[in-house]
Structure 1
Amino acid sequence: MVTRDGAPGAGGVDPQRLWLGPAGPRRGRRPAFSREAITAAAVAVADAEGLDAVTMRRVASEVGAGVMSLYSYAPDKETLLELMVDHVSGELPTTEAPTGDWRADLKAIAHLQRALMLRHPWLPGALSTRRTLGPHALAFLERALAALRPTGLGGVAKLEVFAQLTAFVAGHVAHEITQAAAALSPDRAAAEARYLTAVAADGRHPELAEALSAPGSPQTPEATFARFLNRLVEGLGAE
């Protein structure tokens, strides 16, 4: 069903029709553009200006097509978003064989996901609602499930572990992006540090005082992500 620009069609996206059906019109003359070109144009707009800038009209103008002609490929923005997510998922490597150390493999997978989401800052938001699994996403899922084979977990549990890992990465990257956009000036950061030091010294917050007195850890985004990821992965693997 064709809806107003930006609104999903009634009943949502049918994954079988989207991923196993034809990628474009079956009849008429050969089109001057493809679903791949439309999707790539939408991704480029989202990368540069954010997801809100992606409209059917804007994408049509990017590929030099009329808006109505796009509906044969993506009947609504929701379908276009599905295509975009799977398009960028194609950047994830899928041919590496598991090492047998499932924790190390899972951490490597998470670092790949983080890098992908940082390249495409709109992706964590796009993943916040349920998405279908297109061919590229399925290929990466296969890699993750193979990595989890040594755990002995059942099929459903392995799927849950991968979902949990992906949700963690998406949430962490979304926080990273927000923090980077609202980075404190050196003066403001120093003022906040002085405030916390004063609060910790007032005797009413002993737990905070103990936490602040502990040796600090590296605070680069990469180091922080690695620490959080280690805590998550070390707790996985149990039914």
Structure 2
Amino acid sequence: MDALLREFGTEQQHASVVLARVHALSLAPVEGRSGDLVWQVRKGDYDRATQVDLRWGLHRLTFDTPENASTLDMVRAFERRLGDKNEPMAFSAIADHVSRLTPSQHTGLFHDLAMAAEEASAQQDDAQCLRDNAPWQAWLTGASRAGHEAALLACIGMGASVRMPDASGNTPLHHAARFGHAHLIKPLVDAGADVSALNGQGWAPLHLASLHRHARACDQLMRNGADAEQPGWRGRTPTRMHQRERSYEQAQAL
């Protein structure tokens, strides 16, 4: 919470932005210090073991530890790494330093590492729950309609699909085009949005931008591959729709 307050201050943020940042912070390694030894513990993805990164000055030793490791398990994992025959002398400086710790310091170090491994595992479980259960797809649709780029990027980063249509067949790119949010076009396309996708009424995003006279959105769509002559409902193209709207405006002016 303190990290979020330092980062965002009192400025109001969309829930997706805050929760995406919470997710990122939950995946950060757990850090600590024991005397002049510093360490980081990170839970591995999927079936990968928890990894401990132990440093003393310029020297570094990295080793894997089992799930739910006790203090003794942590000691054994450390000793197994020191016994790696492929690198017999690589970690001698840290090994010598650890061997000179008093019994209480030695126990305290590996107890702290075991507790950090438990904390890292719990944080990753929380992060996965957050990723799986927050309404990222609905928030992506809302961000596309509202023109909220930070929320849009947060939802994409959390796995929301830029190609998934809503109940009316509109993708996030359709919504961005419909409401003239030109600044969202490239981020959506970069994330894999299809500029030629047709919604339930047979319109591509460029059709909607043309129909609602959003010139900058039209320009951005065409810069990113949209076809001004793509046929939509009843064969109508964005060019034809634009010309029709322009003729209508001229008639109204007269």
Question: If the length of structure 2 is used for normalisation, what is the TM-score?
Answer: 0.22
- From the two aligned structures, give the one with the greater helix fraction: 1
Q: Which has the larger radius of gyration?
A: 2
- From the two aligned structures, give the one with the greater strand fraction: 2
Name the structure, 1 or 2, with higher relative contact order (CA <8 Å, separation 6+): 1
Question: If the length of structure 1 is used for normalisation, what is the TM-score?
Answer: 0.23
